[in-house]
Each structure stands twice: as C-alpha cells, then as structure tokens.
C-alpha cells in the first residue's frame, strides 16, 4: 500500500485533542493536508497511511489546539508600561486614546505585527482585534496586513463612536455614524469574509454612540450579517450613564433596542448582575473574559462562574497590551482560573479543563468558528501548538492540561502551526525577521510616546540607549 501524501506530519506526541470526549492520545500523530487535519491517531497507524516531506518528531512534547484570543487591541503594543496605576477612564483619556490619534500607518503595521509575534510565541493561532477610529484608511489596511503577514487567523474590527465628548471621549475619535458605515462598507468590499480573515463591527462602549448610531449599526449588521463586538460593563460607568440617558441599566436598555443577539460578543462584563446574565442567556450573547486587564485597571472580577453555569459561550482575551502589558494567553488562562477561585474562596469553583475549554473549543463557539477550529479533529483546520518539556518550570508533568494551565510559560512553547503552516519551530519564528521587527517596534514606540507625551502622566522614566 502506497502511503498518501501529506504536507506535514507531527508524530510521537502527547495530543490533547479537546474533542467532545476530551481524549488525550499518547504517542499520537497528526497528518495535515492543505491546511486541514487529514488524520489523527496513533503514530504507528498514521505513518502506515501517510508520508510527508516534513515530519516533526515531537517526543517529549504535548500538542494542544491553537489558543484563541477573543479580545485584543494590537496597536496598544506601543503603550506597554505607559498606563500604570490608572483607572480605566483615566487610562483611556491620557494614554490609549492619544496613541490612537497620533499613530501613523507605518507604525500601525509594526506594532500590530509585534503583537502577533507575541501571540505566536504563546501558542495563539486566532486573534480578534479591535482598533480605534482610523485617522486614515491606511490604518485599517496596515492593521489587517500585519495580521495576514503574521499567518494568524484573524477577525478585525474598528470602533464606531459618534458621541461622548462630555464623558471624556476625545473629539478626534468621533465622527458621524454615517462615516463609520462608509468605512465598513469599503472594508467589507476589500476583505470578503473567510475563515482566515473577516471584518466585524465594533463599538467601544455603549455610551460612546448615539441612539441613532446604535440603530444604524444594528441595521447594517442585519443587512450584511456581520457580528458585533463591544466593551460592556467593564466598570460601573455603563450603568450610570444608561440610567442618566435612558432610565435603566445598560443591558436591559440594549434589549429594548434589539442589540442583544447571538452574534454579539460582549467584552469584560465585570459589573454584571443576575438579571444581565439572564438576558445574555436569553439572546445567546457570547462573552469575552479579560481577567488580567480587569485586574490591571482595577475594574473588578467578572462573575464568570455564574455566566458559565447559565450556559453562556465564553472565550478568553488578553485585551490590549496597554492594559495588560503583555499579550500572553498562557498567563491570562492561569489568572482566569485563579481569579475566580479567590473571588469564591473556593479552589474547586473552576478547574483547569474548563479554562482550557474557554481558550479553545468554547472560544471558537464565541466567535462562530466551532466547525473549523477549537479542537484537533479530522476535517478541522490545522491550528495547533506544542509545548516541550524543556525546563524546570513545567517538569514534571502529571496532567497535561493542568501543567499547561498552571506551570507552562512562553519558553515552553516551541511550535505554532496555523492553517497547516508552521509559524514557529524550535521557538524561532519561521517567516518573519523577528529581531528587526522588535527593533523597529522599540524605535517607533519611543517616537510615538514623545508625540503623545505632553501630559505629564505619560512621561517616560526611561529612554532606551542605542538600538542595534
């Protein structure tokens, strides 16, 4: 029998499939053809059926489905360390909003690409990105180009905001809602949706848009069948402003205007009560949990266990590097678990397997890609990463899932594959000059901070020396 040809085979690995039975295969192999998993099983069986020019021996490695970061602001890589010790409202006003205003198209590309590099090193294969208002259309193009050049699977969004000066939104980030609809119409024509890349709608916060703008967004979403993502109840401001403007809390108000829907991805949800959760469940709203950002900005602890018990589809996001100081999904997964445990004062309230589900199979459901990614199964896209037992941080391993969740670090991730393409092997990114990108990122971030740094709160205390 002549073996079938595959593009890539990984063999002799421990494979955490994340299928419905949560099977873990010892000495397993995966054959990949044209970006999809053609076969998965025992190494001996797969090698009897398939051959490939590139075969990776992953003895002493654990393979997982690629992680899904379902909320991020890639351009905020430029602001790492500039917003320390500020509540979210101050941080937006003096750090991230001025950055969005002053950033240049070529800087947008390099910052977003640097963020994608960090994602690759952490085993992420899918990113949902939320950019701010584009000062020039090239900002959209360079953001998307960076995501495509990185090799990651992506969902790109840009914030619609036609209101909010009285609440601290900078005028340069506001335009008539018709302007944003025109931008989206052009983007959708230029970037037709595929499982690799699609353009979604985004609203920064519900109080940064007029009732008319919200209605126009809903109408456009319905007409084009485009999902929507929005920060919601990150802190108490949403409910406070909704009470002032509409006489009810924010989530009940959104129900009255038809905004709660199965294709809404609600981000943060820190100040969320049982009535909100019931409405989310009623309309099958999807959830993005951003624990590190919520801690960094002092926003609070989202009631994720209650949302999980209500049957909501949950994914995990890092949020932007400006309100996290990293895009490390491994760290975010660990914190996601620990934060719920300490909130409940009960270590058993959430387990490692559930958190891994939120970062893979459930995250895929949260972005409507569960038929394509989120688990390692025949027919699905070949998105995966491998952890090597190469340091005292992870060794010994008794439970692969628990070790990933509580012991693993970026240094243990040595292989990342997205859509069947090797993005990183032996810890080295294969298709990009990482050193040159990071060097330019440092230079560009320093120059951008200088342009935004008239406010004393963002004055840097350190200036890099000569960059080689």
Three-state secondary structure call for residue 267: strand
Residue of 398, 267, 416, 265 lying closest to 330 (CA atoms): 416
- Which residues is 385 bridged to in the sheet? 64, 416
pLDDT tens series, the chain, 468 aa: 788 999 999 999 999 999 999 999 999 999 999 999 999 999 999 999 999 999 999 999 999 999 999 999 999 999 998 877 777 778 788 888 889 999 999 999 999 999 999 999 999 999 999 999 999 999 999 999 999 999 999 999 999 999 999 998 999 999 999 999 999 999 999 999 999 999 999 999 999 999 999 999 999 999 999 999 999 999 999 999 999 999 999 999 999 999 999 999 999 999 999 999 999 999 999 999 999 999 999 999 999 999 999 999 999 999 999 999 999 999 999 999 999 999 999 999 999 999 999 999 999 999 999 999 999 999 999 999 999 998 999 999 999 999 999 999 999 999 999 999 999 999 999 999 999 999 999 999 999 999 987 443 444 444 454 443
Which pairs with CB-CB distance under 8 Å and at least 24 residues apart come from 334-340?
Answer: 334/405, 334/406, 335/291, 335/292, 335/295, 336/289, 336/291, 336/304, 337/405, 337/406, 339/291, 339/294, 339/295, 339/301, 340/301, 340/304, 340/305
Q: Where are the alpha helices (DSSP H) in 64-171?
A: 88-91, 97-102, 105-121, 137-150
Alpha-carbon distance 304 to 352, whole Å? 14
Residue of 20, 59, 55 lying closest to 388 (CA atoms): 59
Q: Find the helix or strand (DSSP H, E) in which 64 lies.
A: strand 61-65
DSSP secondary structure, 236-260, as one string: THHHHHHHHHHSS-HHHHHHHTT--
Three-state secondary structure call for residue 287: strand
Q: What share of the chain is helix, strand, coil (3-state, %, to 5)?
A: 45, 25, 35
pLDDT of residue 139: 97
Q: For the chain, how long is the longest CA-to-CA vector?
A: 74
């Amino acid at each position: 029998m002549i073996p079938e040809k595959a593009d890539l085979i990984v063999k002799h690995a421990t494979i955490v499939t994340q299928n419905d039975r949560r099977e873990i295969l010892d000495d397993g192999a995966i054959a990949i053809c044209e970006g999809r998993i053609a076969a998965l099983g025992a190494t001996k069986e797969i090698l009897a059926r398939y051959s490939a020019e590139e075969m990776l021996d992953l003895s002493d490695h654990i393979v997982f489905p690629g992680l899904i970061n379902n909320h991020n602001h890639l351009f905020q890589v430029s602001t790492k360390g500039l917003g320390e010790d500020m509540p979210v409202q101050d941080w937006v006003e003096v750090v991230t909003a001025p950055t969005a205003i002053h950033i240049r198209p070529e800087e947008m590309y390099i910052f977003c690409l640097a963020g994608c590099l960090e994602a690759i090193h952490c085993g992420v294969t899918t990113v949902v990105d939320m950019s701010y208002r584009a000062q020039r259309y090239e900002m959209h193009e360079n953001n998307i180009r960076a995501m495509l050049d990185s090799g990651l699977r992506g969902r790109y969004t840009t914030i619609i905001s036609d209101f909010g000066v009285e609440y601290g939104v900078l005028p340069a980030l506001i335009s008539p809602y018709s302007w944003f609809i025109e931008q989206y119409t052009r983007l959708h024509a230029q970037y037709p949706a595929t499982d690799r890349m699609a353009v979604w709608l985004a609203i920064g916060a519900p109080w940064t848009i007029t009732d008319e703008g919200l209605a126009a967004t809903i109408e456009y979403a319905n007409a084009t069948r485009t999902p929507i993502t929005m920060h919601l109840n990150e802190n108490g401001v949403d409910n406070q402003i909704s009470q002032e403007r509409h006489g009810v809390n924010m989530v009940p108000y959104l129900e009255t205007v038809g905004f709660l829907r199965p294709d809404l991805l609600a981000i943060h949800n820190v100040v969320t009560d049982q009535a909100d959760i019931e409405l989310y469940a009623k309309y099958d709203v999807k959830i993005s949990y951003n624990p590190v950002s919520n801690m960094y900005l002092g926003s609070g602890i989202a009631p994720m266990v209650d949302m999980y018990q209500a049957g909501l589809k949950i994914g995990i996001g890092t949020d932007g590097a400006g309100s996290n100081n990293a895009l490390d999904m491994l760290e975010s997964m660990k914190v996601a678990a620990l934060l719920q445990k300490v909130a409940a004062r009960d270590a058993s309230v959430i387990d490692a397997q559930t958190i891994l589900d939120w970062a893979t199979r459930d995250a895929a459901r949260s972005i409507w890609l569960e038929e394509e990614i989120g688990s390692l199964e025949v027919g699905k896209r070949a998105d995966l990463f491998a952890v090597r037992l190469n340091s005292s941080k992870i060794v010994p391993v008794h439970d692969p899932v628990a070790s990933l969740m509580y012991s693993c670090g970026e240094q243990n991730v040595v292989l990342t594959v997205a859509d069947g393409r090797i993005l990183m092997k032996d810890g080295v990114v294969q298709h990009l000059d990482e050193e040159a990108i990071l060097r330019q990122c440092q230079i560009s971030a320093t120059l951008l901070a200088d342009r935004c740094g008239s406010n004393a709160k963002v004055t840097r205390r350190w200036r890099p020396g000569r960059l080689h």
